[in-house]
Chains A and B, each alone.
Chain A
Amino acid sequence: MTKIGLEIHCQLTKLESKLFCSCKANYREFEPNHNICPVCMGLPGSLPRLNQKAVESATSIAMALNCQTPEKIAFFRKNYFYPDLPKNFQITQLNVYGDMSVGGEGYVDVEGKKIKIRRIQLEEDPGRLIYEGASDRTKITLVDYNRAGTPLVEIVTDPDFDNPRQVRIFLNILSDLLENLGVAEPGLEGAMRADGNVSIEGGNKVEIKNIGSFHDLEKALHFELTRQQSLSERDIEIAMETRHWDDRRKITISSRSKEEDQDYRYFLENDIPWVKIEQNTRDTLKENMPESISSKKERYIHKFDIAPQVADIIASDRYYSQLFENAYSEHNAKDIANLITTDVIGFIDTKEKQETSKITPKHLSDLIDAINAKTITRNSAKVALQEIVKSGKDTDRILKEMDLGQVSDSSEIDGIISQIFEDEKQAVIDAKERPETVNFLVGKVMQKTKGKADPVKTLELIKSKLNQ
């Protein structure tokens, strides 16, 4: 039986400051080694001071993943030498003498299967190593400590996944959930990373590290499963080991260093006293927690009769769901939802586009009102949306400026139809003989009116003229 487990690291990028000092948690905008201080550089005599907000964010994550959250938590030192680690130990958490990390024993529902969350811990991210100008003769490694001390949440699952596909679905659910909580931005480069461990029937557990993206994780898991199966078929023992993902060759390679044997000499970080998380703090966190994606989806489907696939798209994405929540009223919710999934998404499908987009919830409700009042057509709405995203001007103004108002005046449409009957004589004859070809004529009217003619009325008028 295939068993896959995950270790996911997610930066709490929505926090103002690092885990133990006041340097920015958002280190990405800085020149190398310009987001550092005596504390995150581990200078002699400096002491960590815990960012309480980080404890709250991590506790929220634990709660959202259905974990038990303890009344008090402690931090530990994980001792090892590495150039990206300013103190040569990492401040992290451990669940050894009872529950002492922010959470444990949770689960995530993946297509009806419960994936158990073993533990969640809060820790500091190390700095970044940059291999630059590396050649065989001179190998230079640069260290950028801007990232050192960034709050990081480690989420460890049980080996409950049967296949890489489940892993992918889980990670999608997880990253949507973290984003929905407003604590992380999983889309940011390097903000969410995962290691996997894989074993097959009768084989030892193999850990895979150094996987750059979730996309690569799925590939790495596939590769590793195939490798293990082929060993097993030839009766070769699968060694318990750590393997690194080689991004270039897309294979896993045995790490010669015996990382699994490393002794981290864990012991309590006494510079940070035990942190009490009072019941009322937990209650407040629970109260303020945004509605979960699954409950949002249920609500959209049952309250507004929105199609499940549409509800899923909107509920899973923080941006779309906020747009939706602020735009809908009782009578137009379904229309708004459809407008978002059919048209809006096409214009703002990336984070960058969402950030620069000028669209507001009012634009959406105005457009739906206009469509329902037959002031504009669906087609015109789409044209208008493109402009709205760009300029953010009032819907009314855009409709006027772009001359998108719907033509529903019978006499005006009639005139256009007469003209077309003149120009397209053969089509008129065809339509009389084979009524299903009438759409050609409707299309011609639309072309002439740049899509502004009311399509229902147009069809009505053409039909009556054909019967004359």
Chain B
Amino acid sequence: MNLNTSILKYIEDVKSGTFTVEEFTAATLQRIKDVDTDVHAYLSLNDSAINDAKKIDQKISSGEKIGQCYGFPISIKDNICITGTKTTCASKILENFIAPYTSTVVNHLQNEDAIITGKTNLDEFAMGLTTEFSAYGPTKNPWNVDYVPGGSSGGSAASVAANECLASLGSDTGGSVRNPASFCSVVGLKPTYGLISRYGLISYANSIEQIGPMTKTVKDSAFLLNIIAGQDVHDDTTIDNGNANYLENIENGIEGKKIGIIKEMTTSDGLSSEVSTATKDAINDFESLGASCEEVALPTIPYTIAAYYTITSTEAGSNLARYDNIRYGYEMESEGYEYNSYISKSRTKFGPEVTRRIILGGFVPSAGHAGKYFLKALKVKSKLISEINSAFEKFDYLIAPTSPVQPFRFGEKIDDPVTLMLLDYNTVTANLTGKPAISVPYRVVNGLPIGMQIMANSLEEKSLFQAAHALETKTKLPEVPL
């Protein structure tokens, strides 16, 4: 059975009886068994996946009404809650946390008869770009297991790339969907802030993060967005998308569209020559598709990394304060501790990157320092928003490579936090401004993927998919060698 298939093709095949849901699910679980010891995309598996598949097959054979997903297998990043299952955030501090409720996105998927394969690995609390900060060991890049898969949704990206599922849900705070999508050659979308409910997504920096689909094709991404997007009574920040159908007119092309090439992201010092060459080719492809490309300068961009880490650390410091191991958490002997020493001790379970950001988050918004750091970061954010809004008055899309570099080897950058931070250079702008952005697999050079990022104006996902799909038709990529 060919597991390297799209959701849409899968649904056709199930409908036409080429294979049953159970057959495909079993094959997927076998694939996980075969490759995940090498890849380590999953932190836990759904024991009832086969049963779920049987139920859907029964529905199909009895002619009962069936959800749009027809039982396709999807993995979920382990910072998204599902009732009765462990949700660890790849942290020791949530080692035993079993969610008592299900996130809105997973509810939508289950209502439409998707099958959850399991929970995927991430950098602890989604802070990182390589999954090396997972407390349960890193995920490997299916294209070359000596290389990082990107992060923080590295497990999600790898699970899709290694055919251990057909799609995954990740979360993107500063590039955490798009970066691993680029590194593992899958499609990763960070939608407009508020388009997808965050209810059940464990917060890291709640003012800018979004859940996003990770898929094999652009159409699959649109298909998944149809299912999970929209206003939610459990999340006051969600917006009404008028039940948009993102698949509609997805093949319309980009003839006559105006594309801005973000100067700061395509000429930065950190850009590798391979990525630079690929970007030039992508621009040529866009032009051959009938769009006109022009360089655009967004002078605030060099300040975005500093602003991003200031804002996210501030919010993380607050969002992660609840992990005091009093109401839930892990086994810890409390004898001999009073409240303050108990929580200090319990919080030593956080890993190095989380600890670093919590410490930073205690400092940058503190009285006496907020003016120099936190409030300044907010100013950068609002300046960036007005800059990008005026750019979108002129352009339909803004493009840049998703990551300035290709995947690198394990251990290569983990000891240099500042270099790691710079890998977010091309992705944080979409988060700080709330704009939608998508990473499209564009090329594989020296056996390692390169993704292109397209950004559109708020709530212009439909148009964004049209451009992404158009670019996708220009690419011909090899199969994953695993």
**Contact residues of A with B, CB < 8 Å?**
38, 41-50, 77, 79, 81, 83, 86-89, 141, 143, 263, 265, 267-268, 270-273
Q: Does B203 make an interface contact (CB < 8 A)? A: yes
Contact of A79 with B317 at beta-carbon distance under 8 Å, contacts A44-B202, A270-B207, A273-B236 already known: yes
Residues of chain A lying within 8 A (CB to CB) of residue B99: 43-45
Cβ–Cβ contact B318 & A47, under 8 A: no
Residues of chain A lying within 8 A (CB to CB) of residue B235: 47, 49, 271
Cβ–Cβ contact A45 & B206, under 8 A: no
Decide if the interface of chain B is mainly helix, strand, loop or mixed. Answer: loop
Q: Does B459 make an interface contact (CB < 8 A)? A: no
**Contact residues of B with A, CB < 8 Å?**
79-81, 87, 89, 94, 97, 99-101, 103, 198-203, 206-207, 233-237, 314-315, 317-318, 321-322, 324, 326-328, 339-340, 343, 362, 365-367, 370, 374
Contact pick for A81, options B103, B199, B343, B367, CB 8 Å: B343
Bound state CA distance, A265 and B94, in angstroms? 25
Bound state CA distance, A87 and B203, in angstroms? 12
Bound state CA distance, A79 and B319, in angstroms? 10
Residues of chain A lying within 8 A (CB to CB) of residue B322: 42, 44, 86-88
Residues of chain B lying within 8 A (CB to CB) of residue A272: 236-237
Enumerate 24 A-B pairs (CB-CB under 8 Å) in ascending A order.
A43-B99, A44-B81, A44-B89, A44-B94, A44-B99, A45-B80, A45-B103, A45-B199, A45-B202, A46-B101, A46-B200, A47-B234, A50-B236, A79-B318, A79-B321, A81-B321, A81-B324, A83-B326, A83-B339, A263-B367, A265-B370, A270-B207, A270-B315, A271-B203
A86 to chain B, nearest CB (A): 7
Residue of B nearest to A262 (CB): B367
Cβ–Cβ contact A77 & B318, under 8 A: yes
Residue of B nearest to A88 (CB): B321
Bound state CA distance, A267 and B321, in angstroms? 14
Residues of chain B lying within 8 A (CB to CB) of residue A87: 321-322
Bound state CA distance, A238 and B119, in angstroms? 60
Residues of chain A lying within 8 A (CB to CB) of residue B236: 47-50, 271-273
Q: A45-B79, A83-B339, A270-B206 are in contact. List 15 more A-B contacts (CB 8 A).
A: A38-B101, A42-B322, A43-B101, A45-B199, A46-B199, A47-B199, A81-B324, A87-B321, A88-B321, A88-B324, A265-B317, A265-B365, A267-B318, A271-B203, A271-B236
8 closest residue pairs by CB, A with B: A270-B207, A88-B321, A44-B202, A45-B200, A45-B81, A45-B202, A265-B365, A87-B322
Residues of chain B lying within 8 A (CB to CB) of residue A42: 322
Residue of B nearest to A266 (CB): B365
Cβ–Cβ contact B314 & A267, under 8 A: yes
Cβ–Cβ contact B366 & A89, under 8 A: no
Residue of B nearest to A271 (CB): B206
Bound state CA distance, A268 and B322, in angstroms? 17
Residues of chain B lying within 8 A (CB to CB) of residue A79: 317-318, 321
Cβ–Cβ contact B362 & A265, under 8 A: yes
Residues of chain A lying within 8 A (CB to CB) of residue B103: 45
Contact pick for B318, options A44, A45, A48, A89, CB 8 Å: A89
Bound state CA distance, A141 and B339, in angstroms? 10
Contact pick for B234, options A44, A49, A86, A268, CB 8 Å: A49
Cβ–Cβ contact B199 & A41, under 8 A: no
Contact of A263 with B94 at beta-carbon distance under 8 Å, contacts A43-B100, A47-B234, A79-B321 already known: no
Cβ–Cβ contact B321 & A89, under 8 A: yes
Contact pick for B366, options A41, A49, A263, CB 8 Å: A263
Contact pick for A270, options B79, B81, B237, B339, CB 8 Å: B237
Cβ–Cβ contact A38 & B324, under 8 A: no
Cβ–Cβ contact B327 & A41, under 8 A: yes
Residues of chain A lying within 8 A (CB to CB) of residue B79: 45
Cβ–Cβ contact B87 & A44, under 8 A: yes
A269 to chain B, nearest CB (A): 9
B432 to chain A, nearest CB (A): 13
Residue of A nearest to B362 (CB): A265
Cβ–Cβ contact A45 & B203, under 8 A: yes
